[in-house]
Each structure stands twice: as C-alpha cells, then as structure tokens.
Chains A and B, each alone.
Chain A
Amino acid sequence: AQSVTQLDSHVSVSEGTPVLLRCNYSSSYSPSLFWYVQHPNKGLQLLLKYTSAATLVKGINGFEAEFKKSETSFHLTKPSAHMSDAAEYFCVVSDPPNTGNQFYFGTGTSLTVIP
C-alpha cells in the first residue's frame, strides 16, 4: 500500500531563511508524488509534482523538491521564506497506474514564518 510520512507536524522559520519540510514515502512501485499547500480556510493548491521525469522538481512560489529513491524521500525546500508561505503543507502519493486515482495524504506540516 502507498503511504507518506511527514516527519514534522510543525516547522517555524524566520522570514528570509530557508525552509525544509520533510516527507518520506512508501510505495511498491515508482510513485507519483505531490506537494500541496493549504492556506487557512482555503482549498488545496498544487505546489509541484514528481512523475518519474527529473528528480529535482521546481514548483510555484520558489518551492522545489527532490525525489531520492535510495532514501524514499521527497523533501520540500525553499531558499528564502516569505510571510505569505505560512500555511499547511501536504505531501501526497498516488495510486499505482491502472489501479485507481486515489491520493494518499500525509498528516500535514504547519509552517510558521516569524517576521
């Protein structure tokens, strides 16, 4: 079965410092992985996705993630945090091909940006 583990439930950074949100996945096949962001009282917005192309994936708003098969990780990073980055972030793995379109969500990481 597919699953993701977000290693930190809460991360605090100062504005202008780097952001690292950690995600490990478990999958019996080559996975599709996603990061979504959810601002308060909003739906989920896609930040970036990995679908077996380049292992370093660039997303919106300066975020990027690196797929590391040997470490089964898909950590999200940003060089310099902005106040508007404060939100809940979800790492997601999807079903294997030809078996469904279900997404499996991590428990989320709440990012606080300190001015």
Chain B
Amino acid sequence: KAGVTQTPRYLIKTRGQQVTLSCSPISGHRSVSWYQQTPGQGLQFLFEYFSETQRNKGNFPGRFSGRQFSNSRSEMNVSTLELGDSALYLCASSLGDYPPPRGTQYFGPGTRLLVL
C-alpha cells in the first residue's frame, strides 16, 4: 500500500506571496492532519480534515487554511507569506472514523518551505 505523499517536496517563495501544498493520504484513510515543524517551535498542529470538513484546528492565524476533497486528498494554503513561515510542513493520514478512535497517524515526507 502506498504511503502518504506530499507535493512539492521543496518550495522557495518570497514574502507576501501565497503557497499551496498538497497531500495524498494512504488509500482508505479519511482523516488528514497538517503540522508545521520548525527548530524553534518544534511540531505544531495546524488542522485536521475528515470527510471534507475541518474537524480540529490548532492555534495558527487565518492566513493558514486548508481543504479536503472527496477523494480525501488535502491541500493547505498559506497566504501573505512571512519569513517565519519557513518550515517543514508535514501531512499525516489516519482512518479517522467518526467518532474518532485513537487513530494512528502516518506521516508523509513533508514539504520544506523557504520564505525569502
């Protein structure tokens, strides 16, 4: 079974631009979560999508948004990029059936975003 895939793997943007990252979950997984990883803040939860609905949200500004499609693929968008948005963005998928069990999350390789 194929794992979680993320595209692109690397991105370089400038301040003020926007960016869209993509995540394809493991086949059959309906929950997709996004995390931001930085040396200073570690791994921080952005949001979780399940059946095309945002089910859970971390403490990030509204510039960070996401969506999920009917095939469970998810995209994350960051608008008006700031230097501090430079990070590794990780996507994780799980079965995530509602009500949520303690689903094991499987991570993709991440998208490394550099904002100049």
Binds B, one of A13-21, A36-44, A71-79: A36-44
What is the chain A residue whose CB lies nearest that of B94? A101
Number of interface residues of B (CB under 8 A): 29
What 1/0 mask marks residues of chain B from 17 to 56 whose CB sits below 8 Å from any chain A CB?
Answer: 0000000000000010101000000110100101000011
* Nearest-neighbor residue (CB-CB) of B43 within chain A: A105
Measured in the bound complex, the distance between the Cα atoms of B106 and A41 in whole Å is 16
- The residue in B42, B99, B102, B105 that gathers the most chain A C-beta atoms within 10 A of its C-beta is B102
Interface residues in A53-109 (C-beta closer than 8 Å to B): 90, 94-95, 97-105, 107-108
Asked if B108 is an interface residue, CB under 8 A from chain A, the answer is yes
| Inter-chain contacts of A49 with B (CB < 8 A) | 104
Chain A residues in the interface with B (C-beta under 8 A): 32, 34, 36, 41-46, 49, 51, 90, 94-95, 97-105, 107-108
Q: Count A-B contacts at CB 8 Å.
A: 65
Give the residue of A34, A36, A101, A104 whose beta carbon is less than 8 angstroms from that of B31. A101
| CB-defined contacts of B66 to chain A, threshold 8 Å | none
Asked if B103 and A101 make an inter-chain contact with CB atoms under 8 angstroms apart, the answer reads yes
Measured CA separation A34–B103 after assembly (Å): 11
Contact B48 A101 (CB under 8 A): yes
Give the 10 A-B residue pairs with the shortest CB-CB distance, closest first: A32-B102, A105-B43, A44-B107, A43-B109, A43-B107, A98-B99, A101-B100, A100-B56, A43-B110, A107-B42
